[in-house]
Structure 1
């Protein structure tokens, strides 16, 4: 990749794309018709690989350098979970109100501010919210790709949940993970997850995913 300079951001991007490549590698024996999979699953392997690389770097880098890795990881999690939740709510409410007719710029701005405020709560000053955020996100204007934000939010949390299973099971989980990726193009997420003893309807699974993010936040505070 000609834009790779070796800094941490480039390493993270490379890890993300290697995750996609590894997912494709696990499907190498499938016929072409069985090599496609839905976007929520597509972002699982990439973010899982990012987590592996981040944790490996944290274990070997000096305290201060590890701090910047944690900061970026936590910031990314907030972006994918909190900010994307705001966008998800925006689209839901937009489609509902659109049934009654077109919305003015002022109405769209108000809707954007309300959804961002709802998602972020009192963690930010609502006066700092950019009311035109609906204009600079291309996903809102891609017909057929509604709720384009959801796959990334799901991928983040699901991959973190898988990583929590890896921590718990160790080497035993590796072959299960490979089997999971190999079956991802022929089954829905609920059925594939069951093959590795994961119930996607289980609150515990998602809480374990969030606990990993919480651990990063606590580690960041400790290093600061």
Structure 2
């Protein structure tokens, strides 16, 4: 569950922060302004579950992806949720899906994911595909809450 949060949830929030920061950088904002954007992002991310002190605002400056690979963090969320959603497809289709999955892996990065998966009957432009992954994660959280 922690991995789902770290790679799907947190990385998505990093991406949202990057988008907002870059939009505002065009307006000549300061480091303090960027830190405020980041802190606001954290407050949305965590809600009332924890206190976000002002010190957390500068955390963005410690994340190397923002400097070395801008707008890369989305790929962690995409990849992990894609894998979980494909796993759900396997659970629903069983052994019939194995050859499809093997073909997808064999294609590597030869095509954009949307095109590659569509050729194999998987439409990642539809929320239904992704919902199966989110439903799996929700079930994991619900099961943990029962313990």
Output the TM-score relative to the length of structure 1: 0.61
Q: 1:83–1:116: 8 Å Cα contact kept in structure 2?
A: no
Q: What is the CA RMSD across the aligned residues, in angstroms?
A: 1.8
Q: Could you tell me which residue of structure 1 aligns to residue 84 of structure 2?
A: 160
Q: Could you tell me which residue of structure 1 aligns to residue 56 of structure 2?
A: 130
Q: Could you tell me which residue of structure 1 aligns to residue 142 of structure 2?
A: 218
Shift of 1:132: 1.7
**Between structures 1 and 2, the one with greater helix share:** 2
Q: Could you tell me which residue of structure 2 aligns to residue 93 of structure 1?
A: 20
Shift of 1:88: 1.0
Q: 1:184–1:192: 8 Å Cα contact kept in structure 2?
A: no
Question: Could you report, residue by residue, the CA deviation over 1:31-57 in whole angstroms, capped at 9, with x for unpaired residues?
Answer: xxxxxxxxxxxxxxxxxxxxxxxxxxx
SS in 1 for 2:92: helix
Q: Could you tell me which residue of structure 1 aligns to residue 36 of structure 2?
A: 110
Shift of 1:127: 3.5
Matched, 1:193 2:117: yes
Distance 2:55 2:92 in 1: 40
Q: Could you tell me which residue of structure 2 aligns to residue 82 of structure 1?
A: 9
Distance 1:168 1:128 in 2: 46
Matched, 1:184 2:108: yes
Larger radius of gyration: 1
What residue ranges of structure 2 are gaps of 5+ in the alignment?
A: none
SS in 2 for 1:179: helix
